[in-house]
């Protein structure tokens, strides 16, 4: 294999490791560790019609998003990684998100699609298993 082929084969693995480290940092409350994985101008897309649904840009807006869902869930929000797939500059995380709001529990399969460039995540797109239920949960609707 030539050097270019070796480098191309190593990139998806390095990208998957970067994103895995970001999830572990998030789970342990290591905000600097999370931000180290993100480009300063990261684009973050949350679909739907709930209070969290919109596009976020940059570290400050993404941190505000994190703070908002942690506040709404009383700090109970959690992610369980089920699988991580990588090809080229894309990393796909199959996961399960869960949280509580008052006496209500929520859990949903999710697909997180990351784009990595020059060793940092530059874009994140989230896809929910049940968009309506998720919007209702975060909106506080029963």
Q: How many domains does the chain have?
A: 1
Residue whose entry in the numeric block shows the structure tokens 């994190």? 66
Q: What is the pLDDT of residue 101?
A: 94
Cα distances from 120 to residues 6, 42, 92, 137, in angstroms, run 20, 9, 15, 31
Q: Is the dihedral of CA 93, 70, 53, 36 positive or negative?
A: negative
For the chain, list the strands marked E by DSSP: 38-46, 54-57, 78-87, 90-101, 104-117, 120-128
Range of the domain at 40: 3-139
* CATH code for the domain of 45: 3.10.450.50
Q: What is the pLDDT of residue 88?
A: 95
The residues with which 126 forms a beta bridge, in sequence order, are 112
* Per-residue pLDDT tens digits of the chain, which is 142 residues long: 455 444 555 789 999 999 999 999 999 999 999 999 999 999 999 999 999 999 999 999 999 999 999 999 999 999 999 999 999 999 999 999 999 999 999 999 999 999 999 999 999 999 999 999 999 999 987 5
């Amino acid at each position: 294999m030539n050097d270019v082929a070796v480098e191309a084969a190593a990139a998806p693995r390095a990208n998957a490791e970067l994103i895995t480290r970001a999830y572990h940092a998030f789970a342990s409350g290591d905000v600097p560790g999370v931000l180290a994985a993100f480009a300063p101008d990261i684009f973050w897309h949350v679909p739907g019609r709930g209070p969290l649904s919109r596009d976020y840009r940059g570290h400050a807006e993404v941190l505000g998003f994190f703070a908002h869902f942690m506040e709404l869930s009383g700090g109970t929000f959690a992610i369980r990684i089920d699988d991580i797939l990588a090809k080229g500059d894309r990393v796909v995380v199959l996961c399960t998100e869960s949280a509580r709001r008052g006496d209500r529990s929520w859990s949903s399969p999710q697909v997180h699609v990351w784009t990595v460039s020059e060793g940092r995540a530059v874009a994140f797109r989230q896809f929910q298993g049940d968009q309506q239920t998720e919007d209702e949960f975060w909106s506080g609707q029963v």
